[in-house]
């Protein structure tokens, strides 16, 4: 099979498009012919400096396609089914083998490209807001990086839950595009201090729940922007900022920061997470939630696709098509 691989971490130009052995479909696994890969933030972080278990290395956490083979012991999947899947690595390829428990059958009417964009962003957003953020109707939610995959999912889910939704983005144009998804108040973080804006928009109270995928100095600001007894769902370090915020300010406001990693929940609380993501797939198929695809690249152009993601120009998901 063909795959986008690299032999050392670094900038997007480390990618090579090469022939590699087909993955083995072992017991409890399914072999998927990949039709669409959604590039996740973790993919770019891993490529730039993550661990390499083998060389060549195939990065990638999420994809969708058609089941081509089922391993022994698998009775809940069959050849020919359209599925989406998550995995620790390997999505940037024509074929991927994953445990069947890490796949979801795509509902009728849901395009495979849309399905490729759902499990990680929508599952993460749901956990940030509800499982760990405990968001309730009438509260306020601040979503950082509103134009990203988790951001767009979180805005829709928070609005549907009856929250007042605030979000940050790098331009007024992006913020205007977020309005149809449920955004109440947009904050351009390049033109002003988001902490001051949150305080003003909430009447000085601060946000009840903050979804922070940036980290560093942004996380420090999120602590300041948090309401009394507010909750921060810290889901990533996309800002690649090594600044270490002080957590002393949490105590006086009885505030909480909780780290979020969907992968751990998938393993340790599979019975909760798997049907939750299935519900989001069904809602997207029914038009109750939306996936936004910004741009598609051929798998052979993985370097250009990763560079585009890192340019922060994208609004929604960037796909690779084998």
Tell me the domain boundaries of the chain: 2-117+291-321, 121-263
Question: Which residues, given as ranges, of the chain have pLDDT below 50?
Answer: none
Return the pLDDT at 245. 86
Second-level CATH architecture of 2-117+291-321: Alpha-Beta Complex (3.90)
State the Cα angle at 37 between 33 and 39, rounded to 5°: 155
Specify the CATH architecture of the domain 121-263.
Answer: 3-Layer(aba) Sandwich (3.40)
Phi, psi of 302, rounded to the nearest 5 degrees: -60, -35
Torsions phi, psi for 46 (to 5 deg) = -65, -45
pLDDT at position 236 = 86
- What's residue 237's pLDDT? 83
CA 172, 170, 111, 304: dihedral to nearest 10 degrees? 130
pLDDT at 266: 96
pTM recorded for the entire structure: 0.96
């Amino acid at each position: 099979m063909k795959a986008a691989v690299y032999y050392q971490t670094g900038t997007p130009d480390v990618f090579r498009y090469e022939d590699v052995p087909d993955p083995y479909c072992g017991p409890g696994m399914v072999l998927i012919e990949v039709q669409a890969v959604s590039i996740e933030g973790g993919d770019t972080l891993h490529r730039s400096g993550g661990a390499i278990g083998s060389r060549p290395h195939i990065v990638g956490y999420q994809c969708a396609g058609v089941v081509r083979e089922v391993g022994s012991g698998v009775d809940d999947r069959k050849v020919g089914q359209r599925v989406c899947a998550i995995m620790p690595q390997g999505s940037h390829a024509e074929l991927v083998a994953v445990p069947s428990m890490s796949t979801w059958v795509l509902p009728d009417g849901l395009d495979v490209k849309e399905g490729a964009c759902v499990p990680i962003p929508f599952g993460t957003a749901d956990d940030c807001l509800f499982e760990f953020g405990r968001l309730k109707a009438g509260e306020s939610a601040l979503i950082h990086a509103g134009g990203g995959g988790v951001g767009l999912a979180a805005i829709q889910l928070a609005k549907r839950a009856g929250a007042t939704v605030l979000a940050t983005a790098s331009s007024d144009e992006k913020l205007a595009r977020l309005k149809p998804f449920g955004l109440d108040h947009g904050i351009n973080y390049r033109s002003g201090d988001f902490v001051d804006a949150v305080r003003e928009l909430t009447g000085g109270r601060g946000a009840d729940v903050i979804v922070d995928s940036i980290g560093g100095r942004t996380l420090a600001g999120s602590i300041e922007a948090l309401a009394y007894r507010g909750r921060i769902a810290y889901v990533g370090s996309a800002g690649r900022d090594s600044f270490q915020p002080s957590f002393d300010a949490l105590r006086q406001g009885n505030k909480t920061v909780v780290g979020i990693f969907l992968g751990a929940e998938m393993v340790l609380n599979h019975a909760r997470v798997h049907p939750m993501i299935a519900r989001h797939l069904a809602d997207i198929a029914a038009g109750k939630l939306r996936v936004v695809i910004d741009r598609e690249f051929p798998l052979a152009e993985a370097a250009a696709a990763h560079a585009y993601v890192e340019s922060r120009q994208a609004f929604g998901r960037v796909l690779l098509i084998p």
